[in-house]
Amino acid sequence: MKEYQTTIKAPFSLAGAGLHTGKYTHTTILPAEADTGIVFHRTDLSPVVTIPAVADFVTDTNHGTTVTNAGVSVATIEHLMSALHGMKIDNAVVEVDGPEIPILDGSARLWVDGIVKSGIQDLDAPRNYYRITQRLEWCDTKNGVELYAEPADGFSVECEIVFTSKLIGTQNALLSSYNEYRDGISCCRTFVFLHEVEQLLALNLIKGGDLDNALVFVDKPLGEEEKSRLAALYGRDKSSIQVRNGVLNTVEPFFDNEPARHKLLDFMGDIYLCGKPLQGHFRLRCPGHHANTELAKIIRSHIIK
């Protein structure tokens, strides 16, 4: 069955704080013509700066994926890119009036909801898949990172993560087809350990973090002094700072393996920076933004040969 390139039917917008900068920005997704791909426009600048969403423009993968053109960046693009990939949107213009995409609820769910509400429009051009024809890989054996792309019909991903903390341990997640993305992957939120929160704040990161947009795992007893500090940090009443099943926040995990599913979500966004929809099977062990985008660069080098 012949497939056609897609875009969204109507523009939609979402706004919120960026996870790391804390800056409040507005992001609007607009329809685009065939063969546009995904492009970012920094509309707060004059003239507007265009940044293609391809791996060549990746400049930072520290706790998120950043793309840069002509010295102008858009950070933390992975959840939005994941939604566009998972919903099979080939072409879109993303207008953002600041340096970072809003973190929203820490997942891709609200972007997916926006795409569904807008509707998906077929365009008069065939979808140009890049088919993986040989095994490609990016590995960092010292740190246990292994990413493989292998020939297969369709698109599928299996993901394994390994943490020494018993709260997560070893988890696996599987995406057998795009049909599973919306309900099984897009809602899965980012996660962090409590001891990492203050470290990240000291690095001038996660200024837009909140107990509602991340799963915060607590792998040690939480004292009253620390509860008071966290309550002040997040502007909450101390009594609301509680730990339930090892998770510190006001939300419950959607899945027992939500961290593994979120890592798969991130991969879906990062690998889409190869610039084309893919046909192949991906096996991931301990993926991260750096590894994901390096594999995207390898695939892209084969695409543009």
Q: What is the pLDDT of residues 256-294, one digit of tens each?
A: 999 999 999 999 999 999 999 999 999 999 999 999 999
pLDDT at 198: 67
Considering 20, 195, 289, 290, which one is annotated as catalytic? Answer: 289
pLDDT at 21: 83
Sign of CA dihedral 162, 286, 131, 62: positive
42 CB neighbour count, 10 Å cutoff: 22
pLDDT in tens, 159-172: 999 999 999 999 99
Tell me how far apart the alpha carbons of residues 56 and 74 are, in angstroms, rounded to a whole number: 14
User: Is residue 26 annotated as part of the catalytic site, yes or no?
Assistant: no
Q: Taking the domains of the chain in order of start, what are their residue ranges?
A: 4-127
pTM: 0.94
pLDDT at 252: 79
In this prediction, the residues of the chain whose per-residue pLDDT falls under 50 are none
The answer to whether 120 and 35 have CB atoms below 8 angstroms apart is no
pLDDT in tens, 71-90: 999 999 999 999 999 999 99
CATH class, range 4-127: alpha beta
Q: How far is CA 211 from CA 24, 235, 249, in A?
A: 17, 10, 5
